[in-house]
Amino acid sequence: MRIIKVMSVVLCSLGIAFAAMAKDMNVGFVYVSPIGDAGYSFAHDKGRLAVEEMDGVKTAYVESVKEGPDSERVILNMARKGYDIIFATSFGYMDPMLKVAKQFPNTVFMHCSGFKKAENMSNYFGRMYQARYLSGMVAGAMTKSKILGYVAAFPIPEVIRGINAFTLGAQAVNPEVSVRVVWTKTWYDPATEKEAAKSLLDAGADVIAQHQDSPGPQEAAQEKGVYSIGYNSDMSTFAPKSHLTAPVWNWAPYYKQIVNQVKEGTWKAESAWPGMDAGIVKLAPFGPMVPQDVQDTVTAKQAEIASGAFKVFSGPVKDQQGAVKIADGTVANDETLLGMTWFVEGVVGTTE
């Protein structure tokens, strides 16, 4: 009798174990904007599609979720439905996600672009500034007026870091270049962003770069017959004649890695900031107007960044007032980069 009891318990638990193994892993994604925007969420969704193709993994997503209380409801709903991993890809999802994470200790929460973590919640982002440095090199090589225009969203460290990296890249190939910045205080308002690009063109800029999700600035550059640098994903379809290249996201390898870690039980909460070495950020294909020697120089630099031989923010780096911010021979640490609120020398504009 006792043997039978033990056997049945063992069989039962085996059965449960098998059932758990056979059950598909569910992965949920929460996006801040519609995925069709050729922008930020679109790039994350390409990562999701790569995860979807993995064996035994099912994915789902909710797009256009407002930051704040709405996002908490969406994340909570996913957790309740038993999703194993939830990726939330906007800064404002941080606190709502943390709240939900505390209630569901067995679910893995992944928050993009924030800085908080918990036992079961990681934060992650990519070193986009590395790709921006390269795009700055392209812009610096192509400009004739030595004025580059940069349509920027909000004066937060992420954007400022990008502008600084872009400027350093441009100065590396063209020391006299200056970068003019216009803040729009929008992430996706094509009308305002196009107008901002036009104002930079009127101020003499002949290459327009951007840190927003809409292709508005690209349109402005193409209409004026000058060059542009996209962002997020290849924006060349919007401005085929002006699009030089774009720093783009490539989330697929990272998302697949996380899903595998969770599957194997090796996942641990962390603050991840992978870059070119992991293939998370890269440059979109060059436009036909970029000369071969420029392409070669940039590609060589890309290899140096990926291998770790070259760091974008290595001293001496001066700020707008000429004060040395990163001393000669030193490399800025991540803390400096994450809290960057000053412009490097050569940027025209204010961070306020």
Q: Does 92 bind other proteins (CB under 8 A)?
A: no
Q: Residue for token digits 């789902």?
A: 60
Binder to other proteins among 25, 46, 52, 63 (CB under 8 A)? 63
Burial class (CB in 10 A: 0-12, 13-18, 19+), 176: exposed
Asked if 192 is part of the footprint of other proteins (rule: CB under 8 A), the reply reads yes
189 binds other proteins (CB under 8 A): yes
Question: What six digits make up the tokens of 202?
Answer: 């009127």
Stretch that binds other proteins, among 92-100, 123-131, 194-202, 293-301 (CB under 8 A): 194-202
C-alpha separations of 23 from 19, 97, 323 in Å: 6, 25, 59
Q: Select 57 or 209, whichever has its Cβ closest to other proteins.
A: 209
Please pick, from the candidates 196, 226, 298, 340, the single residue that binds other proteins as defined by CB under 8 A.
196
Name which position in 33, 113, 123, 228 contacts other proteins (CB under 8 A): 33
Chosen residue from 136, 216, 247, 346 binding other proteins by CB under 8 A: 216
Q: How far is the CB of 218 from other proteins (least distance, A)?
A: 10
Least CB distance to other proteins at residue 114 (A):
23
CA dihedral 250, 256, 262, 268 (to 10 degrees): -30
Q: With respect to other proteins, which residue has the nearer C-beta, 117 or 224? A: 224
Task: Figure out which of the listed residues 34, 253, 274, 279 binds other proteins, where binding follows CB under 8 A.
Answer: 34
Cα separation, 53 vs 39, in Å, equals 22
CA distance 346 to 191: 28
Q: Are 32 and 19 in contact (CB under 8 A)?
A: no
Find the binder of other proteins among 26, 120, 199, 314 (CB under 8 A). 199
Per-residue burial over 110-132, b = 16 or more CB atoms within 10 Å of its CB, e = otherwise:
bbbbbeebbebbbbbbbbbbbbb
Nearest to 139 by CA among 250, 292, 294: 294
Residues that bind other proteins (CB under 8 A): 33-34, 36-39, 42, 63-64, 149, 155, 180-186, 188-192, 194-196, 198-200, 202-203, 205, 214-216, 219, 238, 348-350, 352
